[in-house]
Structure 1
Amino acid sequence: MMKSEADNRQRVIIVTGACRGIGKAITETFVDNGDLVAMVSENKNELLKTAASVSNPNNVLVLDGDLAIDDFVDEIVEATYSKWGKIDVLINNAAWRTIETLNTISRENWEKTLKVCLTSPVFLSKMAAKKMKSGNRGGVIIHLSSVMANRAGGTSPAYIAAKGALLSLTYEMAALYGPSGIRVLAVCPGNVTTAMSSDFKDSKGSNISQLLVEEMEDMTPLQRSASPEEIAEGVFWLSSNKASFINGTSLDIDGGFAHNFNSYKSKKKQFPNEF
């Protein structure tokens, strides 16, 4: 017996990594639209804090647990469906990673990164797609990949492998689920102002995040980082009927970073009056 049902006008959304950064902004954007959101995170305290801060706390379901644990992943879709009777959109946003090279990464860190960033999105998508197909309503699955999937730095191998695999799986899932009216897409953010962009350290343990951010911003034509809200707006649009024929592809939201050749510091040396 379902505890409650969604209004026909309301969409039911699952967002992983929902308590901070991009995931929090995505949650807020959907709730502001009147949608119902199952918020997933392993940080229960932050999750409850975020849930209480959205424009309509009655429109969220809090699901706390570790995406590296198979049993918890299995529970997410069932708990959401039991609560609201349908699933319209799945946003695979959660991430976990270490900053180290392939020379030093442990098997434990490699496997946990792949569990959270790749395996859990795969099986959440599989289970969500079953619910979407059962109602003959179609749906949308969006994977948060990264520009780093195509522009690796050599310092986070498991994360890069997972983000690249998510792009390939976007195409695979779109081919499989498209005939059922389920669109599958990826979003590739550039540098975004979040906690995950502020934990870089040098060999002595000093935080060098600002230096790296400034370097990446100098490679970005818009000359700045994105806010989480800017990524959320792109995700929201892709999930809407306004993007109804967009399927099996990825959207870069990176200020032009991916297709820029060199830094603006270098450009200014060549053409000081033009850049």
Structure 2
Amino acid sequence: MTNRPVVLITGASQGLGAATALEFSRSGYDCFLVARNRPNLEAVASLITTDGGNAAVCAGDLGDLSFAQASVQQCLYKFGRIDVLVNNAAWRRIGTMRQMELDEWETTLRICLTAPAFLAKWCGEAMQAAQSGVILNVSSIQANLAPGICPAYVAAKGGLDALTYELAALYGPYGIRVLGLNLGAIDTEMSADYVAENGDNLSQDLRRFAEDMIPLRRFAEPQEMARSIVMLADNRASYMTGTCLEIDGGWSHQATPYSLKHRQFPQEFSK
């Protein structure tokens, strides 16, 4: 068994997951990286080892719960412990409920909700034996700010928030903390795939709208979101559990676009 704490991160092959893995490694964790894309996973693991850390990879589809369970078993076999689980993997297809097919619905819920639930169950068994652990469920402000164009994803994230409360109530007596992270706009691959029915890419238009609504006036970088995730896993957050934290640059509680505020009060607000 390693003497270093161990984190299992899903969706670790790119974007936020990759940044989170690097940040945990720099904070002294051994990293077990799970995603579908093996070459990308190995590239992230190589960055970690080059940086002086230790990482192992496990490639497969979390929609297959037998693979999800095997990934936990492999992590325990490799490192002998799991101190932190980061349920980060996500999948969604953009479209309204009118366009939603059953297989798309079920795939989204399986990856975004069912897999996190059972990964928490299996990691929780190891954490319970150790009487400590942290489960971090990466959710979204879309659980409460529905756009009308990704119903399965919104439903899954709402369910993930509720699951966070349930797991915190179950595992708290065993020293296990469970937190949800309702993240806002992040500069990753998933923020660049908004395409109209005529083929036009709307991602930049949506980005301008989002930045007009975000008090910090910008998308988050994956690295700064990763730092927040690692901070919440730390013992300095030892009394935080059973809640979902909005990390969104202030978007969720901001009602009026800054362009409109500027027109109303040009001396008070910039465009």
Give the match for residue 170 of structure 1. 164
RMSD: 1.0
Question: Within 5 Å, which residues of 2 pair with 1:109-148?
Answer: 109-136=104-131, 138-148=132-142
1:94 corresponds to: 89
Q: 1:250 deviation in Å?
A: 1.2
Say yes or no: does 1:17 pair with 2:11: yes
What code does the residue aligned with 2:2 have?
A: A
What is residue 180 of structure 2 aligned with on the other side? 186
Shift of 1:44: 0.9
Q: 1:156 to 1:57 in 2, by over 3 A?
A: farther
Name the structure 2 match of 1:48.
42
Q: What is the count of residue pairs matched by the alignment?
A: 268
Match of residue 218 from structure 2: 224
Cα 1:57–1:115 change in 2 (3 A) is: farther
Counterparts of 1:176 and 1:82, CA distance in 2: 26
**1:34 Cα deviation after fit:** 2.1
2:2 maps to what in 1?
Answer: 6
- Residues 194-246 of structure 1, C-alpha deviation per residue, up to 9 Å, x if partnerless? 00000111121111101101101100001000000111111101000000000
Structure 1, gaps ≥5 residues long: none
The corresponding residue for 1:152 is 146
1:81 corresponds to? 76
Distance 2:110 2:37 in 1: 17
- Give, as a single letter, the amino acid of the residue that structure 1 aligns with 2:85: L
Deviations 1:71-123 (A, max 9, x none): 10110111111111111000000000000000011000000000100000000
**Aligned residue in 1 for 2:268:** 274
Identical pairs, percent: 44
Q: Partner residue of 2:31?
A: 37
Q: Residue 25 of structure 2 contacts residue 53 of structure 2 at CA under 8 Å; is this kept in 1?
A: no
TM-score normalised by structure 2 residue count = 0.97
Distance 1:34 1:259 in 2: 35
Quick one: distance in 1 between partners of 2:130 and 2:265?
59
Q: TM-score, normalised by structure 1?
A: 0.96
Partner residue, 2:256: 262
CA contact (8 A) 1:51 1:57 kept: no
Q: Secondary structure at the match of 1:218?
A: helix
Q: Any gaps of 5 or more consecutive residues in structure 2? A: none
Letter in 1 for 2:207: V
Query: How many Å separate the matches in 2 of 1:34 and 1:244?
Result: 18
